[in-house]
Amino acid sequence: MLSARAPVQGSAGYVAIEQVTGTLNGKKGSFVLQHFGTMKRGDDRLILEVVPDAGTDELTGLSGSMTIELKDDRHFHEFDYRLGD
């Protein structure tokens, strides 16, 4: 993960690559998520997408995107995905 904070309070940006290994809807394998985030004076924008063709094993062909919402200091993830072409 790489991040940078701007001189203005609440403004920053980050990029990251995340390897995910586990089970998704009963299918085992791994995939890679690419993160792109910006924050402008506290108003954030976050994009997480599955890297194309990064799925392995039973997750081959996985595509999709994820949202992360912060509420009460807890992260909530929602994964909108598709398996296959």
Contact 39, 12 (CB under 8 A): yes
Chain centroid, CA 33 distance in Å: 5
pTM: 0.83
Residue-level pLDDT, tens digit, the chain, 85 residues: 999 999 999 999 999 999 999 999 999 999 999 999 999 987 888 999 999 999 999 999 999 999 888 789 898 999 999 997 6
Question: What is the C-alpha to C-alpha distance for residues 60 and 83, in angstroms, rounded to an integer?
Answer: 7
Beta bridge partners, 2, equal: 15
Give me the CATH code for the 2-82 domain, please.
Answer: 2.40.350.10
According to DSSP, the residues that pair with 68 across neighbouring strands are: 77
Measured in degrees and rounded to the nearest 5, phi and psi for residue 57 equal 50, -125
Domain boundaries, the chain: 2-82
pLDDT at 42: 78
Q: What's the confidence (pLDDT) of residue 85?
A: 63
pLDDT at 23: 96
